[in-house]
Amino acid sequence: MRSYSLIASAKINLYLEIIRDRPDGYHDLLMVLQSIDLADQIDLCPLGTDAIHLHCDHPEVPQDHRNLVYKAAALMAEKFPDAFAKYGGVNITIHKRIPVGAGLAGGSTNAAAVLVGLNLMWELGLNQRQLQYLGSLLGSDVPFCIAGGTMLATGRGEFLTPLPAIDNFYVVLAKYRSLSVSTAWAYQTYRHQYLRSDVLNASAIGHSKQRAYSGQIVSAITRQNEKQICQLLHNDLERVVLPKYPQVQRLQEEFQRLGCAGMMSGSGPTVFALTKSQQEAQQVLESVKRAIPDPDLDLWVSKFTRSSICVASSN
Instruction: Write out the catalytic residue numbers.
Output: 11, 141
Verify binding: residue 159, ligand C5P, rule CB under 6 A.
no
Residues 6+ apart with CB under 8 A from 243: 249
Do 15 and 232 meet the contact criterion of CB atoms below 8 Å apart?
Answer: yes
Q: Is 72 in the site for ligand C5P (CB under 6 A)?
A: no
Which of residues 29 and 271 has its CB atom nearest to ligand C5P in the complex? 29
Contacts of residue 149, defined as CB under 8 A and 6 or more positions apart, other chains included, come to: 34, 35, 162, 163, 165, 305, 306, 307, 308
String of DSSP letters for 110-176: HHHHHHHHHHHHTT----HHHHHHHHHTT-TTHHHHHH-SEEEEETTTTEEEE-----S-EEEEEEE
Alpha-carbon distance of 185 to 42, in angstroms, equals 29
| CA gap 82, 275 in Å, rounded | 49
Q: Should residue 157 be labelled a site residue for ligand C5P when binding is judged by CB under 6 A?
A: yes
Residue in 6, 7, 8, 29 binding ligand C5P, rule: CB under 6 A:
29
Q: Phi then psi for 98, rounded to 5 degrees?
A: -75, 130
The minimum distance between CB 105 and ligand C5P, in angstroms, equals 8
Q: Is 140 in the site for ligand C5P (CB under 6 A)?
A: yes
- Minimum CB distance to ligand C5P, residue 280 (Å): 33
Q: How far apart are CA 281 and CA 258, in angstroms?
A: 11
Maximum C-alpha span of the chain: 59
239 binds ligand C5P (CB under 6 A): no
Residue 112 lies near ligand C5P (rule: CB under 6 A): no
Binding residues for ligand C5P, how many (CB under 6 A)? 12
205 scored as a contact of ligand C5P (CB under 6 A): no
The least distance separating ligand C5P from the CB of residue 140, rounded to whole angstroms, comes to: 3
At position 234, the amino acid (one-letter code) is H
141 is a site residue for ligand C5P (CB under 6 A): yes
Q: Is 187 in the site for ligand C5P (CB under 6 A)?
A: yes
Shortest Å distance, C-beta 30 to ligand C5P: 10
CB of 227 to ligand C5P, least distance (A): 30
33: closest CA among 100, 99, 98, 104?
Answer: 104
Residue from 139, 215, 262, 266 touching ligand C5P (CB under 6 A): that is 139
CB 174 within 8 A of CB 298: yes
Residue whose CB is less far from ligand C5P, 103 or 262: 103
Residue (of 180, 127, 167) closest to 296 by Cα position: 180
Using the contact rule CB under 6 A, the part of the chain among 21-29, 35-43, 196-204, 269-277 near ligand C5P is 21-29
Residue 26 binding ligand C5P, by CB under 6 A: yes
Given the rule CB under 6 A, which residues bind ligand C5P?
25-27, 29, 139-141, 156-157, 183-184, 187
